[in-house]
Amino acid sequence: MPETIDDFTIVLPELSDMANCELKRYDGLDRLWRMVERYKMTAPIAIRVVDNKARCVRAIRGTRYQAGGWQLEDETTAVAPPLAGEVEFPLSINVQDARGNILKMRLQPGVPKREPLSNHSHD
């Protein structure tokens, strides 16, 4: 069954250690920022990356500048992430804004597949 990429899936071209990678990698998640904008989420936002056992891999706080950019602060040290070998995929990103609205997205390793959408269902 081919996997289709939707607005709530972020495909990472290479999957390194999500718990220890630099914040600028998260800053480059354009699809996440587009969805935050689409749903008019109110800063500050709390971003939590969790594995399939709901263990927090990464916690980040985002504050928006008037110029339209985001400042990210790493809060992972406060939540004690699991060891790198313990992270179980798939990963999810849960974003909560100042009003309590929640946006959930999936992180998927690999290259996005450019397959045409079909009306056929493969059960």
Give the neighbor-by-neighbor strand order of the sheet with 70-74: 9-12, 102-109, 91-96, 45-50, 56-64, 70-74
Specify the pTM. 0.72
Q: Which residue has the higher pLDDT, 21 or 90?
A: 90
Q: Is the pLDDT of residue 23 over 60?
A: yes
pLDDT value of residue 58: 86
Which of 46 and 29 is assigned the larger pLDDT?
Answer: 46
CA distance 11 to 108: 5
- List, for residues 44-80, the tens digit of each pLDDT value: 999 998 888 888 888 999 998 877 778 888 887 655 5
Q: Locate the domains of the chain by residue range.
A: 9-109
Tell me, what's the pLDDT at 115? Answer: 46
> Are the beta carbons of 45 and 33 closer than 8 angstroms?
no
Q: Would you say the C-alpha torsion 99, 100, 101, 102 has a positive or negative sign?
A: positive
Mean pLDDT of 15-20: 61
Contact (Cβ atoms closer than 8 angstroms) between residue 70 and residue 28: no
